Chain A
Amino acid sequence: MMNKFTILFAAIILAFATINSASAQEPLRLTLRDGVIEALPFALPTFQAEVVGSEDMALDISKVIIEDLNGTGLFRQISSSAFISRPASFGSVISFPDWRAINAQALVTGAVAVSGNQVTVKFRLYDVFSGAEMGEGLQFAGTADGWRRMAHKVSDVVYSRITGEAGYFDSRVVYVAETGPKNDRAKRLAIMDYDGVNVQYLTDSSAIVLAPRFSPSGDRILYTSYESGFPRINILDVATVSHQQMPTASGEMAFSPRFSRDGWQVVYSLANGGNTDIYRTDLVTGQNMRLTNTPAIETAPSFSPNGSQIVFESDRSGTQQLYIMSSNGVETQRISFGNGRYGTPVWSPRGDLIAFTKQNAGRFHIGVMRTDGTEERLLTSSFLDEGPTWSPNGRVIMFARETQGSDGTTGLYSVDITGRNLREVITPQGGSDPSWGPLQR
């Protein structure tokens, strides 16, 4: 279900000129390259309660923003115990020397007002060493149930202004919630905020469900379900939580679907007579097209952002490897050549990288490579890591990790594309097969 509140993107209402203090400092900018190792220190005094009764909400929102920014590994909160001064009120003049003295490079100030069921959040971002405001103050207003989203939106703006790239905090992830022992696992589709909060279930556990995939706009979810007794592809409408079977080319089993960027083409696998090939179906015209035709296993297709190409896995060489073909199934080229087996390729939303699962010497890895197969980089290593999905800005990968043994459980993790900042995404039960949706509006 979509959150029911509307965020009023009431930009610029707080605008007033802030004089750049003519410092010789370069403007604050964190360039996201492999070399970024030192987290940027920032100060975020707890947002002020603008009206009586807003104190708890102000504290909660401040905490979520701090968690978002700390959670990137790119920013590091300075403890409030180090603060020399605090802004007297949201609009008051900033004493930059007090923030420079504790080496804060960025300062976020804000205020929260709760009125009935309405919450308003205002904030400003300052470049401490330049003594200048970065961009204009912004305000978000909505109903109280959307308070976390408003906090995430503040984080997205802060992240974006400092890094020059879009954020990923106000986004959701659909995944498979798993409960029960390995030989009697119950699986349900679930949707959550990117940070594992606000979990809602989209199916019951009466049939196995696998590998949900968000549409690029976040309005629909494709997934594989055994509700008919055989794996078929369902489309779920997120707003109504109603689903129907997707029409496919005829086959005994249909699985591993993904949307094109425009949301109207679906690539997927069909198994017939034991042989698995890749097909494409146009959801508007209903037209089906077979894209591969070999006795090998071809599966896990993923469109390029412009829709002209598809990356997939095939064992036509004898082991699982990655290939790219045109969206019509021609001009196929193998791109993975390292040791081991490569599967579950996913094209990054920026178009520059392919994330994959690699199996080698009894270990599983999540990795990335360029679309020509060069610059392969393994980001993780464990008994069983698989199923990468990209953050909407292409900077972070979420995946599932299963632990070894009879009591093995599966959980969601994230890692940035440099291989740093591996974190568990805490969910109420086990989780697998995450699919990261777009930034919400």
Chain B
Amino acid sequence: MKHLIKTAFLIGALMLSACTNADRFNDSDAAGLNGANSNNINQSALDGANNPSSPQFFSQTIGNRVLFMVDASTLTSSGRNTLDGQAGWLSTNSDYLAVIEGHADEQGTREYNLALGARRANAVREYLISKGLASGRIRTVSYGKERPLAVCSEESCYAQNRRAVTIISIGQSS
């Protein structure tokens, strides 16, 4: 049995390392694996979205993006709710750093949209700092209109593209 558990750990570690951003291996993962036997290696225990400390939980369950109105960088109330969740997660998982990506829809000139994306990313950064996160953990970058998520030329797509996305990774704060 001891041998089997060891095998399960190894497989689990391999699966984790194959997962983007899943570079953590903590107690709750191990707990799931301990219950596995040789006939039933329980992969769901590693499913990040169910693991509150996983990057998947951050990006999918809490939500890694907030949306903005046209030509605006003011946070909406639903955006603030999402960011409250992000701030809580980042406080708990203090070895993570964040880069906030600001984006714009295609209705604007390239340079202006870069600057607008910077405003949006900064609005998110300031909000997270106001919730107690260390400023050195959060950087910003703007992509302007260079990286749309949705490609149609209609408001339904534009609304998804006017966004700020919080990208997390483990590292040293600046």
- Seen from chain A, the residues whose Cβ lies within 8 Å of a Cβ on chain B are 181-183, 185, 187, 208, 210-211, 229-231, 252-253, 255-256, 269, 271, 273-276, 297, 299-300, 313, 315, 320, 343-344, 357, 359, 383-384, 386-387, 402, 404-406, 408, 433
User: Residue B162 at the A interface, CB < 8 A?
Assistant: no
Contacts of B109 in A (CB 8 A): 300, 313, 320, 343-344, 357, 359, 386-387
The 5 A-B residue pairs with the shortest CB-CB distance, nearest first, are: A274-B122, A276-B115, A343-B109, A271-B118, A297-B115
| A408 B118 Cβ-Cβ under 8 A | no
For A187, A269, A297, the residue with the greatest tally of chain B CB atoms inside 10 Å of its CB is: A297
A residues in contact with B140, CB < 8 Å = 252, 274
B109-157 CB contacts (< 8 Å) to partner A:
109-112, 114-116, 118-123, 125-126, 139-143, 146-153
For A315, what are the chain B residues with a Cβ–Cβ distance below 8 Å? Answer: 112
**Smallest CB separation, A75 vs chain B (Å):** 34
With A271-B118, A274-B123 as known contacts, state yes or no: A313 contacts B112, CB within 8 Å.
yes
In the complex, the answer to whether B148 meets A231 with C-beta atoms within 8 Å is: no
In the complex, given contacts A183-B150, A274-B120, A299-B112, what are 7 additional A-B residue pairs having Cβ atoms less than 8 angstroms apart? A208-B143, A255-B114, A271-B118, A273-B122, A297-B119, A404-B153, A405-B151
A315 to B118, CA, bound (A): 14
Q: Is A208 a contact of B146 with CB atoms below 8 Å?
A: yes
Residue of chain B at shortest CB distance from A402: B106
CA distance A230 to B140 in the complex (A): 9
CB distance from A196 to the nearest CB of B (A): 21
Q: How far is the CA of A271 from the CA of B117 in the complex (A)?
A: 10
Closest chain B residue, CB of each to CB of A277: B115
Tell me the count of chain B residues lying within 8 A, CB to CB, of chain A.
32
* B56 at the binding interface (Cβ < 8 Å): no
A210 touches B110 (CB 8 A): yes
> Contact partner of B111 among A182, A211, A252, CB < 8 A?
A211
Chain B residue nearest to A296 in the complex (CB): B115
- Give Cα distance in the complex from A405 to B150, angstroms: 10
Name the distance in Å between A14's Cβ and chain B's nearest Cβ. 49
Contact A274 B153 (CB under 8 A): no
Q: Hey, which chain B residues are within 8 Å of A299, CB to CB?
A: 111-112, 114-115
- For A208, list chain B residues within 8 Å (CB): 143, 146
Q: Considering the chains assembled together, what is the distance between the CA atoms of A273 and B140 in angstroms? A: 9
CA distance A211 to B139 in the complex (A): 24
A182 to B110, CA, bound (A): 14
Name A208's closest neighbour in chain B (CB-CB).
B146
Residues of B contacting A383 in the complex (Cβ-Cβ under 8 angstroms): 153
CB distance from B44 to the nearest CB of A (A): 31
Asked if B108 CB lies within 8 Å of chain A CBs, one says yes
17 interchain pairs, CB-CB under 8 A: A182-B148, A229-B141, A231-B142, A253-B141, A256-B111, A273-B122, A276-B119, A299-B111, A299-B112, A300-B112, A313-B109, A313-B111, A343-B108, A384-B106, A386-B109, A404-B153, A405-B153
A253 lies within 8 A of B112 (CB): no
CA gap between A357 and B147 in the complex, in Å: 21
Q: Which residues of A contact B110 (CB under 8 A)?
A: 210-211, 344, 386-387, 433
**At the interface, yes or no: B54 with Cβ under 8 Å from chain A?**
no
Of chain A, the residue at the smallest CB distance from B161 is A183
In the complex, which residues of chain B have a beta carbon less than 8 angstroms from the beta carbon of A357?
109
CB proximity to A under 8 Å, residues B63-102? 73
Given the interface pairs A229-B141, A274-B140, the reply to whether A297 lies near B146 with Cβ below 8 Å is no
Residues of B within 8 A of A230 (CB): 139, 141
When the two chains form their complex, are residues B112 and A297 in contact, meaning their CB atoms are under 8 A apart?
yes
How far apart are the CA atoms of A181 and B116 in the complex, in Å?
A: 23
Query: B115 near A408 (CB under 8 angstroms)?
Result: no
B118 — which chain A residues lie within 8 A by C-beta? 252-253, 271, 274-276
CB distance from B118 to the nearest CB of A (A): 4
Cβ-defined contact, A274 with B151, below 8 A:
no
Q: Which residues of B contact A300 (CB under 8 A)?
A: 109, 111-112
Of B112, B147, B152, the contact of A343 (CB 8 Å cutoff): B112
Bound CA span A231–B146, Å? 12
Asked if B28 lies at the interface with its beta carbon under 8 angstroms from chain A, I say no
CB distance from B117 to the nearest CB of A (A): 9
